[in-house]
Amino acid sequence: MKVLVLGGDGFCGWPASLHLSDLGHEVTIVDNLSRRRIDKELGASSLTPITSPQERLAAWEETSGETIDFVELDIAQHYDGLLDLLRTAAPDAIVHFAEQRSAPYSMKSATHKRYTIDNNTNATHNLLCALVESGIDTHLVHLGTMGVYGYGTAGMSIPEGYLDVELVGDEGERISQQILYPTNPGSVYHLTKCLDQQLFAYYAKNDALRITDLHQGIIWGTHTEQTLRDERLINRFDYDGDYGTVLNRFLMQAAVGYPLTVHGTGGQTRAFIHIRDMVRCVELALQNPPAAGERVKIFNQTTESHRVRDLAELICRISGAQIENVPNPRHESPENELSVRREAFLDLGLEPTRLSEGLLMEIEQVASRYAHRADLEKIPCTSVWTKDQQPGVPASRAPEAHDSPAEQPA
């Protein structure tokens, strides 16, 4: 299969590109390298020593004998370039990772909010438009987020995308329908994924585009089978207060002896998936496209749910680390339950990597190995969600955050 991987230089896109190339697909990475530039803006860098795109690709060719092409292109800004690329490459499938994906970064300032909305929404809409204009028959697989649902349960497990509802008609008759599960974003970044979801629904309906949306949980881990083959292929590992995600941050913090930064009580429950399972899910999604005219196919791409404080305690037990409950910079529910349906990928053959299998290995083989590269000043999360949370502002009178639509005041 000919596959374009948009955002293929990033944390998920790089290992996914290698995995697909290893399976024999003809892969082209498209990336504008904005993530590397954001590192410079933040004065942060990956804990692991990632090489340049050219060096990584040369190392892959040397170790695997396979070639991955690279196109530097901003898909949010250069529509004509994207259209030309689709016409000349005519890919069988496109995997779309190319968005600004950090919630804290998206909340830093008005500039960051506007950049995230502009970049992510234009990237997705340009792609959909270009697919229609080029007329190519391509399966689009997008990396969405579990955060489109919010993190509440409303008393039921969150379904894979679509909610069964019963409406009462004008004559009192009962009408059964399936609707997109109501969105409840927790940051401007998450909001862009909700907007993406509407764009996909429209283009699948109007233009019969074949689209799969993967509502992915928080990724943990670093290596996949392919990134381990040569140090020049190593994947990025973000630990800074903007891009580092909770579990990888805790693993790194344990390795460098920094108290684990639990936000508030740590009662937040989130969905997780290991990076090796992510690449396998992308493979499975590509093998199982929807038909033209079918509605968007949605999977919940997550294997386990955990409460933040439970994760912190688990890592303390295996590493001897300490916990520090820090004020939560986010506007989110301090405690939530999260129950999620996740059968679709299991039914297709996904064999999940359990937390218990990989934690210690991550600490020993990644976080400890590269601990000398850590800049501890970059660890605190300084991006706050509301003006009331700015340093020096007296205690907040902001309304409490609600994760579940059912808990929101009418």
Catalytic residue list: 145, 189, 193
CA 252 to CA 245: how far, in whole Å? 11
For ligand USQ, the binding residues in 308-367 under the rule CB under 6 A are 308, 328, 330, 332
* x/- letters, 110..129, toward ligand NAD (CB under 6 A): ---------x---x------
Using the rule CB under 6 A, which residue among 28, 34, 45, 145 binds ligand USQ? 145
CB of 333 to ligand USQ, least distance (A): 9
* Beta carbon of residue 229, minimum distance to ligand USQ (angstroms, whole number): 26
Among 3, 4, 5, 7, binds ligand NAD (CB under 6 A): 7
Residue 102 is a binding residue for ligand USQ (CB under 6 A): yes
Contacts 24+ apart (CB under 8 A), 353-359: 353/221, 353/274, 353/276, 353/277, 353/303, 354/303, 354/304, 355/220, 355/272, 355/304, 355/306, 355/314, 358/220, 358/221, 358/274, 359/251, 359/314, 359/315, 359/318
Angle at the Cα of 224 from the Cα atoms of 35 and 58, rounded to 5 degrees: 65
Among 4, 5, 16, 262, binds ligand USQ (CB under 6 A): 262
Tell the smallest beta-carbon distance from residue 263 to ligand NAD (Å). 16
With binding defined as CB under 6 A, does residue 142 bind ligand USQ?
A: no
Q: Is 320 left (phi over 0), alpha (psi -120 to 50) or beta?
A: left
Nearest C-alpha neighbor of 328 from the set 309, 310, 306? 309
DSSP 8-class letter at 377: G
Q: Of 9-17, 154-162, 203-211, 380-388, which part binds ligand NAD (CB under 6 A)?
A: 9-17
Sole binder of ligand NAD in the list 98, 128, 251, 381 (CB under 6 A): 98
Residue whose token pair is 């609707």: 179
- Which is it for the CA torsion 257, 230, 241, 54, positive or negative? positive
Residues forming the site for ligand NAD (CB under 6 A): 7, 9-13, 31-35, 74-76, 97-101, 119, 123, 143, 145, 216, 218-219, 245
